[in-house]
């Protein structure tokens, strides 16, 4: 069974940096895309960007370009989402999800990582 | 404001049929991109419900069906059950974003 397991919840202060992870298993990690999706409290889903771990090709939604960095380490089947300077407005649940190709459906999701940014 | 427009809420009695619309434009659904639908219960990750406009993943009951026409898509749920109460999201892709994905704003389904 395909699984995406995300790192645990984090509580951070504004201005701090953070890197969360998403580890894939039971499939060829380098042959599928990984996306990151944000869900702010009580709100809908937002597409942040995607990465192809096979060659690290990365694409960002304009709303998130320059705000976050998406990366992957194919040797350990893990994708990452990182911030260099968190804001209170980054408080949200972040999901990783798998796509078999860049405009496919998200056929498998991580459990989500809650990020709380508060002074 | 989401690129794809969904009604904020729909409701129906057990056994009834409800539909959820997803309206886009010539840059997304109308550009020929497929539409996918997800179901999300409170406190849990979304789950794929319909892919490529009208296909059900293994394990999804045939009470759920999807369709696409022009710049819109629809999710239909027949034989409504209490357990169907959840949030539903459509998703497609946008040529203005170099083919990156976009979601609808989500629809809360209430089973009366």
At A96, list the tokens.
């990783």
What is the pLDDT tens value at each position of chain B, 112 positions in all? 678 999 999 999 999 999 999 999 999 999 999 999 999 999 999 999 999 999 999 999 999 999 999 999 999 999 999 999 999 999 999 988 877 899 999 999 999 9
Q: What pLDDT was estimated at residue B59?
A: 95
Least-confidence region, from A47-51, A68-72, B93-97: B93-97
Q: Which residues 83-102 of A are in CB contact (within 8 Å) with B?
A: 95, 97, 102
Q: What pLDDT was estimated at residue A114?
A: 98
Q: What is the per-residue DSSP string for B27-68?
A: TTGGGT---EEEEE-TTS--EEEEBTTTBPPTT--TTEEEEE
C-alpha A18/C-alpha A67 separation (Å) is: 12
Q: Which among B52, B89, B100 is the nearest to A44, CB-wise?
A: B89
Distances (CA, A) of A54 to A22, A105, B72: 15, 19, 34
Q: Which among A59, A106, A111 is the nearest to B48, CB-wise?
A: A106
Angle (CA) B87 B103 A1, round 5°: 70
Closest B-chain CA to A63: B97
Would the CB atoms of A107 and B48 count as touching at under 8 Å?
Answer: yes
pLDDT tens-digit series, residues A103-114? 889 999 999 999
Any bridge partners for residue B39, and if so which? B47, B88
Closest A-chain CA to B8: A44
Would the CB atoms of B100 and A45 count as touching at under 8 Å?
Answer: no
């Amino acid at each position: 069974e395909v699984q995406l397991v995300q790192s645990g919840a984090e509580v951070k202060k504004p201005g701090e940096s953070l890197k969360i992870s998403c580890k894939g298993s039971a499939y060829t990690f380098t042959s599928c895309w990984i996306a990151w999706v944000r869900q702010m409290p009580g709100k809908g889903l937002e597409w942040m960007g995607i990465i192809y771990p096979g060659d690290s090709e990365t694409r960002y939604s304009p709303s998130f370009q320059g705000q976050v960095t998406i990366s992957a380490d194919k040797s350990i089947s893990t994708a990452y989402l990182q911030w260099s300077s968190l804001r209170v407005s980054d408080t949200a649940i972040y999901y990783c999800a798998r796509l078999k190709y860049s405009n496919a459906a998200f056929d498998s999701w991580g459990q989500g990582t809650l990020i709380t940014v508060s002074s | 404001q989401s690129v794809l427009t969904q009604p904020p809420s729909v409701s129906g009695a057990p056994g009834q049929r409800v539909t959820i619309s997803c309206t886009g434009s010539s840059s997304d659904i109308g550009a020929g991109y497929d539409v996918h639908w997800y179901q999300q219960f409170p406190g849990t990750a979304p789950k794929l419900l319909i892919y490529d406009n009208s296909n059900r993943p293994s394990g999804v009951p045939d009470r759920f069906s999807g369709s696409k026409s022009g710049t819109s898509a629809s999710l239909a749920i027949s034989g409504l059950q209490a357990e169907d109460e959840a949030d539903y999201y459509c998703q497609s892709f946008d040529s203005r974003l170099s083919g990156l994905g976009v979601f609808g704003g989500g629809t809360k389904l209430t089973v009366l």
